[in-house]
Amino acid sequence: MRMEGREEMQGAVGLRCTWDIPPPAGTQAKWVRLNVGGTVFLTTRQTLCREQKSFLCRLCQGEELQSDRDETGAYLIDRDPTYFGPILNFLRHGKLVLDKDMAEEGILEEAEFYNIGPLIRIIKDRMEEKDYTVTQVPPKHVYRVLQCQEEELTQMVSTMSDGWRFEQLVNIGSSYNYGNEDQTEFLCVVSKELYNSPNGLSSEPSHKTKPEGQISPAPLLREGQKHVAVHDIL
Protein backbone atom coordinates (compact mmCIF):
# COMPACT_ATOMS: atom_id res chain seq x y z
CA MET A 1 0.00 0.00 0.00
CA ARG A 2 2.82 2.41 0.80
CA MET A 3 4.54 1.57 -2.44
CA GLU A 4 1.41 2.42 -4.42
CA GLY A 5 1.07 5.69 -2.52
CA ARG A 6 4.65 6.60 -3.35
CA GLU A 7 4.06 5.75 -6.98
CA GLU A 8 0.94 7.95 -7.07
CA MET A 9 2.85 10.77 -5.38
CA GLN A 10 5.75 10.43 -7.77
CA GLY A 11 3.34 10.51 -10.69
CA ALA A 12 1.63 13.63 -9.35
CA VAL A 13 4.94 15.36 -8.75
CA GLY A 14 6.08 14.39 -12.20
CA LEU A 15 2.91 15.92 -13.70
CA ARG A 16 3.43 19.20 -11.88
CA CYS A 17 7.04 19.30 -12.94
CA THR A 18 6.31 18.76 -16.59
CA TRP A 19 3.70 21.62 -16.45
CA ASP A 20 6.35 24.05 -15.18
CA ILE A 21 9.09 22.94 -17.53
CA PRO A 22 9.78 25.66 -20.15
CA PRO A 23 9.49 24.69 -23.82
CA PRO A 24 12.60 23.19 -25.35
CA ALA A 25 15.13 25.50 -26.92
CA GLY A 26 14.24 26.50 -30.47
CA THR A 27 10.47 26.21 -29.95
CA GLN A 28 8.09 29.18 -29.74
CA ALA A 29 5.85 29.94 -26.78
CA LYS A 30 2.10 29.67 -27.31
CA TRP A 31 1.20 33.01 -25.75
CA VAL A 32 2.36 36.37 -27.11
CA ARG A 33 2.38 39.77 -25.43
CA LEU A 34 1.95 42.90 -27.54
CA ASN A 35 2.58 46.42 -26.24
CA VAL A 36 0.53 48.60 -28.61
CA GLY A 37 0.98 52.30 -27.87
CA GLY A 38 1.48 51.59 -24.16
CA THR A 39 -1.41 49.12 -23.78
CA VAL A 40 -0.52 45.45 -23.36
CA PHE A 41 -2.53 42.78 -25.19
CA LEU A 42 -2.19 39.06 -24.52
CA THR A 43 -3.12 36.57 -27.22
CA THR A 44 -1.96 33.35 -28.81
CA ARG A 45 0.43 32.84 -31.65
CA GLN A 46 -2.29 30.88 -33.45
CA THR A 47 -4.62 33.91 -33.37
CA LEU A 48 -1.97 36.26 -34.74
CA CYS A 49 -1.17 33.84 -37.54
CA ARG A 50 -4.73 33.52 -38.81
CA GLU A 51 -3.62 35.79 -41.66
CA GLN A 52 -0.27 34.44 -42.82
CA LYS A 53 0.69 37.60 -44.73
CA SER A 54 -0.15 40.01 -41.94
CA PHE A 55 2.33 42.13 -40.03
CA LEU A 56 1.37 40.42 -36.77
CA CYS A 57 2.01 36.93 -38.09
CA ARG A 58 5.43 37.88 -39.40
CA LEU A 59 6.20 39.65 -36.13
CA CYS A 60 5.50 36.72 -33.82
CA GLN A 61 7.31 34.26 -36.09
CA GLY A 62 10.43 36.34 -35.56
CA GLU A 63 12.03 35.28 -38.82
CA GLU A 64 11.31 38.07 -41.30
CA LEU A 65 10.44 40.97 -39.01
CA GLN A 66 12.34 42.14 -35.95
CA SER A 67 10.84 44.37 -33.27
CA ASP A 68 11.97 45.90 -30.01
CA ARG A 69 10.52 44.56 -26.75
CA ASP A 70 9.69 46.16 -23.44
CA GLU A 71 10.97 45.01 -20.04
CA THR A 72 8.33 42.24 -19.89
CA GLY A 73 9.26 40.87 -23.30
CA ALA A 74 6.18 42.24 -25.07
CA TYR A 75 6.58 43.31 -28.70
CA LEU A 76 6.54 47.10 -29.01
CA ILE A 77 4.16 48.44 -31.69
CA ASP A 78 3.79 52.20 -32.09
CA ARG A 79 0.10 52.29 -33.07
CA ASP A 80 -3.19 53.44 -31.53
CA PRO A 81 -4.40 50.81 -29.02
CA THR A 82 -8.01 52.03 -29.35
CA TYR A 83 -8.36 50.44 -32.77
CA PHE A 84 -6.23 47.39 -32.04
CA GLY A 85 -8.89 45.70 -29.89
CA PRO A 86 -11.40 45.23 -32.75
CA ILE A 87 -8.59 44.04 -35.03
CA LEU A 88 -7.43 41.44 -32.52
CA ASN A 89 -11.02 40.28 -31.96
CA PHE A 90 -11.48 39.92 -35.71
CA LEU A 91 -8.50 37.58 -35.80
CA ARG A 92 -10.03 35.63 -32.91
CA HIS A 93 -13.55 35.04 -34.28
CA GLY A 94 -13.67 36.51 -37.78
CA LYS A 95 -16.28 39.20 -37.05
CA LEU A 96 -15.95 42.98 -37.02
CA VAL A 97 -17.50 44.40 -33.84
CA LEU A 98 -17.25 48.16 -33.28
CA ASP A 99 -18.41 50.50 -30.55
CA LYS A 100 -20.92 53.15 -31.63
CA ASP A 101 -18.40 55.98 -31.33
CA MET A 102 -15.59 54.18 -33.17
CA ALA A 103 -14.82 55.45 -36.67
CA GLU A 104 -14.59 52.86 -39.41
CA GLU A 105 -11.96 55.00 -41.12
CA GLY A 106 -9.67 54.49 -38.12
CA ILE A 107 -10.13 50.71 -38.21
CA LEU A 108 -9.44 50.71 -41.95
CA GLU A 109 -6.21 52.64 -41.44
CA GLU A 110 -4.99 50.12 -38.86
CA ALA A 111 -6.15 47.10 -40.88
CA GLU A 112 -4.12 48.37 -43.83
CA PHE A 113 -1.08 48.88 -41.60
CA TYR A 114 -1.32 45.33 -40.23
CA ASN A 115 -2.09 44.04 -43.76
CA ILE A 116 -5.21 42.06 -42.83
CA GLY A 117 -6.85 41.58 -46.23
CA PRO A 118 -10.27 40.14 -45.26
CA LEU A 119 -10.82 42.87 -42.67
CA ILE A 120 -9.90 45.58 -45.18
CA ARG A 121 -12.51 44.29 -47.63
CA ILE A 122 -15.22 44.08 -44.95
CA ILE A 123 -14.66 47.66 -43.79
CA LYS A 124 -14.61 49.05 -47.33
CA ASP A 125 -17.85 47.23 -48.17
CA ARG A 126 -19.51 48.61 -45.04
CA MET A 127 -18.38 52.15 -45.82
CA GLU A 128 -19.60 51.92 -49.42
CA GLU A 129 -22.94 50.54 -48.28
CA LYS A 130 -23.31 53.36 -45.77
CA ASP A 131 -22.50 55.99 -48.41
CA TYR A 132 -25.04 54.42 -50.77
CA THR A 133 -27.72 54.45 -48.08
CA VAL A 134 -27.08 58.12 -47.33
CA THR A 135 -27.40 59.11 -50.99
CA GLN A 136 -30.61 57.11 -51.43
CA VAL A 137 -32.79 59.61 -49.58
CA PRO A 138 -36.48 59.26 -50.51
CA PRO A 139 -37.46 61.98 -52.98
CA LYS A 140 -39.62 64.90 -51.97
CA HIS A 141 -42.55 66.08 -54.07
CA VAL A 142 -43.12 69.61 -55.31
CA TYR A 143 -46.66 70.56 -56.31
CA ARG A 144 -47.53 73.45 -58.61
CA VAL A 145 -50.92 74.94 -59.41
CA LEU A 146 -51.39 76.45 -62.86
CA GLN A 147 -54.31 78.44 -64.20
CA CYS A 148 -55.59 78.05 -67.76
CA GLN A 149 -58.66 78.48 -69.92
CA GLU A 150 -60.66 75.63 -71.36
CA GLU A 151 -59.24 76.03 -74.85
CA GLU A 152 -55.69 75.87 -73.49
CA LEU A 153 -56.21 72.78 -71.36
CA THR A 154 -55.40 70.11 -73.95
CA GLN A 155 -52.24 71.83 -75.10
CA MET A 156 -51.07 72.40 -71.54
CA VAL A 157 -51.41 68.74 -70.55
CA SER A 158 -49.73 67.53 -73.75
CA THR A 159 -46.74 69.83 -73.36
CA MET A 160 -45.79 68.90 -69.78
CA SER A 161 -42.19 67.68 -69.60
CA ASP A 162 -39.12 67.41 -67.39
CA GLY A 163 -40.75 65.07 -64.90
CA TRP A 164 -43.92 67.05 -64.28
CA ARG A 165 -47.02 64.87 -63.85
CA PHE A 166 -50.69 65.79 -63.94
CA GLU A 167 -52.41 65.34 -60.55
CA GLN A 168 -55.76 67.15 -60.47
CA LEU A 169 -57.99 69.47 -62.50
CA VAL A 170 -60.35 71.90 -60.75
CA ASN A 171 -63.08 73.86 -62.52
CA ILE A 172 -63.25 77.37 -61.05
CA GLY A 173 -66.06 78.62 -63.32
CA SER A 174 -66.13 81.45 -65.85
CA SER A 175 -64.01 84.50 -65.27
CA TYR A 176 -63.94 85.99 -68.75
CA ASN A 177 -66.63 86.67 -71.33
CA TYR A 178 -65.61 87.07 -74.94
CA GLY A 179 -68.68 87.98 -76.98
CA ASN A 180 -71.43 85.51 -76.31
CA GLU A 181 -69.15 82.71 -75.04
CA ASP A 182 -67.96 82.23 -71.50
CA GLN A 183 -64.33 81.12 -71.12
CA THR A 184 -64.22 78.45 -68.40
CA GLU A 185 -61.20 78.65 -66.15
CA PHE A 186 -59.38 75.67 -64.66
CA LEU A 187 -56.73 75.12 -62.04
CA CYS A 188 -54.35 72.32 -62.97
CA VAL A 189 -52.32 70.70 -60.18
CA VAL A 190 -49.06 69.12 -61.32
CA SER A 191 -46.26 67.47 -59.34
CA LYS A 192 -42.65 66.41 -59.69
CA GLU A 193 -40.23 64.35 -57.62
CA LEU A 194 -37.35 66.31 -56.14
CA TYR A 195 -34.18 64.34 -55.45
CA ASN A 196 -31.22 65.22 -53.27
CA SER A 197 -27.87 65.49 -54.97
CA PRO A 198 -24.76 63.89 -53.34
CA ASN A 199 -23.64 67.26 -51.95
CA GLY A 200 -26.88 67.55 -50.00
CA LEU A 201 -28.51 70.20 -52.20
CA SER A 202 -31.88 69.61 -53.80
CA SER A 203 -31.80 69.39 -57.55
CA GLU A 204 -34.82 70.33 -59.62
CA PRO A 205 -34.73 70.12 -63.43
CA SER A 206 -36.09 73.02 -65.40
CA HIS A 207 -39.83 72.69 -66.03
CA LYS A 208 -41.80 73.37 -69.20
CA THR A 209 -45.42 72.79 -68.47
CA LYS A 210 -46.68 75.38 -70.94
CA PRO A 211 -45.29 77.93 -73.40
CA GLU A 212 -44.67 81.27 -71.75
CA GLY A 213 -47.62 83.61 -71.70
CA GLN A 214 -50.33 80.96 -71.81
CA ILE A 215 -50.34 79.80 -68.17
CA SER A 216 -49.86 81.82 -65.00
CA PRO A 217 -49.92 80.66 -61.38
CA ALA A 218 -53.32 81.12 -59.76
CA PRO A 219 -53.41 83.07 -56.48
CA LEU A 220 -55.82 80.61 -54.85
CA LEU A 221 -56.88 76.98 -55.21
CA ARG A 222 -60.57 76.60 -54.53
CA GLU A 223 -61.99 73.09 -54.31
CA GLY A 224 -65.43 72.97 -52.74
CA GLN A 225 -64.99 74.64 -49.37
CA LYS A 226 -61.24 74.09 -49.21
CA HIS A 227 -58.89 76.98 -49.77
CA VAL A 228 -55.26 76.20 -50.43
CA ALA A 229 -52.66 78.90 -51.05
CA VAL A 230 -51.00 78.42 -54.40
CA HIS A 231 -47.24 77.90 -54.33
CA ASP A 232 -44.70 75.15 -54.74
CA ILE A 233 -45.25 72.69 -51.89
CA LEU A 234 -42.41 70.36 -50.86
pLDDT digits (tens, 9 = 90+) for 31-44: 999 999 999 999 99
Contact status, residue 159 vs residue 210, Cβ threshold 8 Å: yes
Q: Specify whether the CB–CB gap between 58 and 83 falls below 8 A.
A: no
pTM of the model: 0.48
- What domains are there in the chain, each with its CATH number? 29-134 (3.30.710.10), 140-194+207-229 (3.30.70.2000)
Query: Which pLDDT value is given to residue 14?
Result: 34
Q: How confident is the model at residue 182 (pLDDT cuts 50, 70, 90)?
A: low
Distance (Å, rounded) from C-alpha 68 to C-alpha 90? 25
pLDDT value of residue 10: 39
Please give the residue that has the higher pLDDT: either 123 or 160: 123
pLDDT at 49: 92
Q: Is the dihedral of CA 110, 116, 121, 123 positive or negative?
A: negative
pLDDT band at 90 (very low <50, low <70, confident <90, very high): very high
Average pLDDT over residues 3-29: 40
